[in-house]
Chain A
Amino acid sequence: MEDLKIELKGKIIEVLNLEDITVEDIQDNDPLFGDGLGLDSIDALELIVLMDKDYGIKLSDPKEGRSIFQSIETMATYIAANRTK
């Protein structure tokens, strides 16, 4: 699980072009949206694509994303339980 969290942080930094942010800067329970990393609605769509492309998880209900994308912790927990890749 720890490896998955580190992997996720790296992917998010790369895919979302987060300049001047390192894996070490992101805490497992930091909010990804709002006051945390400050991600926006396009970033949310990119995270949905990332889930599908890298972990084989298709999120069809946008409401699901709200709880899954709360933090690295919640994302990793969901991926670990549902991944097909």
Chain B
Amino acid sequence: MEQHKYSISKWCTVSEEVVKRFDQVVFEGEKGDFVAFAKAYYKTNEIDYPKFFKMDALSKLAFIGSECLLMDEEFDKPTSDIALLFSNASSSLDTDLKHCESIIDKDSFYPSPAVFVYTLANICLAEVSIKHKLQSENAFFVTPSFDGDLMYTQVKYILETHRAKQVLCAWVEYLEGKYKFFGYMVGSYRQGELEHTRENIKEIYRR
């Protein structure tokens, strides 16, 4: 029988204006407005990071979900111990469409630099890295749906090659107001934690 060297220490989801940690609701906002919900989460948790308000929706979603997972980690100096592995289906399409709207009319051609900088999905990795001083490995995959097998393989590679001590994995999907963040942390196996297996990843994603 395979001995599992790694375990899932925590997981969280953000969807439909609800934040859950270990399947328990930890924050609930007013329904129907992601931006207002994200702001409410920021204020309630007394986060002091004004750049949050300049982020696009995808980065705000990644930021909130990552906060939920990293809030009890200690970062007194830059670290390469926590790698980031994100994925989604729509890449940065939500912001791409906003940028497209601003350049469609030749007589009113005023593309916003602040919007344009978010027309790459992996920018949200940078936002999380800057906030938590992570100078670590990171990757962003675009797949039709959450691919637990892909995440499992990538995490195993990162940890077995000692590129990081933990990996924050996340499905961070946002398109036209519909969104879902599913994130979990993987590190060396600790008694009592959920084993890092393909089945367990898929099971907690389905919850």
Contact = CB atoms under 8 A, between A and B. Distances in A.
Contacts of B112: 46, 49
Interface in B22-57: 50, 52-54
A16 interface: yes
A16 B54 contact: yes
A41 B158 CA distance: 34
B117 A42 contact: yes
B114 to A, nearest CB: 5
Contact of B114 (A20, A38, A42, A53): A42
Contact of A17 (B53, B110, B111, B117): B53
Contacts of A46: 112-114
Interface in A11-58: 16-20, 38, 42-43, 45-46, 49, 52-53
A39 to B, nearest CB: 10
B110 A42 contact: no
Interface residues of A, number: 13
Contacts of B54: 16-17, 42
A19 B113 contact: no
Nearest to B110: A53
A33 B112 CA distance: 19
A35 B114 CA distance: 21
A49 B50 contact: no
A49 B102 CA distance: 12
A18 B110 CA distance: 20
A43 B115 CA distance: 11
B113 A45 contact: yes
A30 to B, nearest CB: 16
Contacts of A19: 50, 52-53
A16 B50 CA distance: 11
B110 A52 contact: yes
The 8 closest A-B pairs by CB, nearest first: A45-B113, A19-B53, A17-B53, A53-B110, A17-B54, A42-B113, A46-B114, A42-B114
Interface of A: 16-20, 38, 42-43, 45-46, 49, 52-53
Given A17-B53, A19-B50, A43-B114, 6 more contacts: A16-B54, A17-B54, A42-B114, A45-B113, A46-B113, A53-B110
